Amino acid sequence: MLEELFIGFLSIGWKDIVMILVGLLLIFLAIKKQYEPMLLLPIGFGAILVNLPLRVAFEHAGQPGFLKILFDAGIATELFPVLIFIAVGAMCDFGPMFKMPVMMFFGAAAQLGIFLTIIAALLVSKWFPGLGLNFGLAEAATIGIIGAADGPTSIYVANKLAPSILGPISVAAYSYMSLVPLIQPPIIRLLTSKKERTIKMKVEEQDIPKSLRIAFPILVTIISGFVAPMGVPLIGSLMFGNLIRECGVLEKLSIAAQNELANIVTLLLGITIGASMRSEDFIQWTTIIILILGLIAFVFDTAGGVLFAKFLNLFRKEGNKINPMIGAAGISAFPMSARVVQKIATEEDGETFVIMQAVSANVSGQLGSVMAGGIILVLVPILLGGAL
């Protein structure tokens, strides 16, 4: 009788306490530091809920709790990533990219970390067999996609290629997305000089035909269906959201997708991702290595974009240089990365405005990460002989 009264205290271990503290840290960062609170706060609270005694919020006595129901319905089925991409597509304005097509290359260059991390994951698994990682090509590719800072794509690829590591993959992807304001500035400052960070760029003033805005999401969806068919659910939902925005006859649906749909799904997705941070699954070498490799991928992606911009500047005349910070916005953390780039520019020189170029690179990165995910989903099964 006395044991039942104190079962909550008796059934908790040190690992559970550690994960509860991690959840509290995420909530602190969300509220005090305001690091993407819409993501970090639900993730942090979900981590606390799922590590409380008896795990009642997730599963108890063989019966699923509300967090497991949300996980099975929204993450395991890939429903949440698809819905999020409809909302993101409705938020994306590809106008700046049309005005500055060169920015599309940054969306490609910033995917460098994905492929470098795939190699790193395979090498770590081979060189340190004592850790029991057993990362094959499917697991390595799934870890690499974290570098794109694209949570929905990471979840989608993990579900297809390596569902056994879906939990740490989703946590790493969304945590690093949320921590863009913390992670990217040191990398940008390390790779650029003050002079480079204060390069001013011209904004092309031209009208974008409405026909182009409407045709773009349709053509991208069709083309991706042939180039990377496995990525069609993601690219298709992203482009569908953008078509709702640009068609001009669905304004109410566009507003709803950008606000109500985005807010509701982000709320449910955040707390559900937090629910994957169960101590028995999370505090182990595999998870720690995935988090480290995910961070490395993120760093490589940011650095790849910046270094690509510096490379292009070697061939551009003085007065027509590219502010290399824009390359960092080539990751798909939209619009967080673009805001970070402009904030650094403002801190360096109050008259340096690169937000339009950064947004252009950012939306290009959104497309680039989805295409990269689709290509990985096509190539990995081929390389593995169709065995996943």
Nearest partner of 170 among 284, 279, 275, judged by Cα: 275
- CA distances to 44, 47, 93, 295 from 21, in Å: 9, 9, 39, 21
DSSP-based helix, strand, coil % in the chain, nearest 5: 75, 0, 20
pLDDT 10s digits, 213-246? 999 999 999 998 888 788 889 889 999 999 999 9
Q: Judge whether residue 251 has pLDDT over 60.
A: yes
Task: Look at residue 9 in the predicted model and tell me its pLDDT.
Answer: 63
In this prediction, residues 135-147 reach a mean pLDDT of 87
Q: Judge whether residue 203 has pLDDT over 80.
A: no
Q: Judge whether residue 157 has pLDDT over 80.
A: yes
Given a contact cutoff of 8 angstroms between Cβ atoms, the answer to whether 314 and 164 are in contact is no
CA atoms within 13 A on the CB side of 124: 23
Given a contact cutoff of 8 angstroms between Cβ atoms, the answer to whether 44 and 36 are in contact is no
Q: Structure tokens of 85?
A: 């991409």
Q: DSSP string of 124-173?
A: HHHH-GGG-----HHHHHHHHGGGG--HHHHHHHHHHH-GGGHHHHHHHH
Residues 6 or more apart in contact with residue 130 via CB below 8 angstroms: none
> What backbone torsions phi and psi does residue 253 show, to the nearest 5 degrees?
-70, -35
Name which of 76-90, 104-118, 156-170 the model is least confident about. Answer: 104-118
Q: Judge whether residue 206 has pLDDT over 80.
A: no
Q: Structure tokens of 350?
A: 């109050």
- DSSP class of 330: G
**pTM, to two decimals:** 0.85
- CA distances to 72, 187, 388 from 159, in Å: 12, 31, 11
Task: Look at residue 10 in the predicted model and tell me its pLDDT.
Answer: 61
Mean pLDDT over all residues of the chain? 86
Q: Structure tokens of 352?
A: 């340096």
Amino acid occupying residue 179: L
Given a contact cutoff of 8 angstroms between Cβ atoms, the answer to whether 74 and 272 are in contact is yes
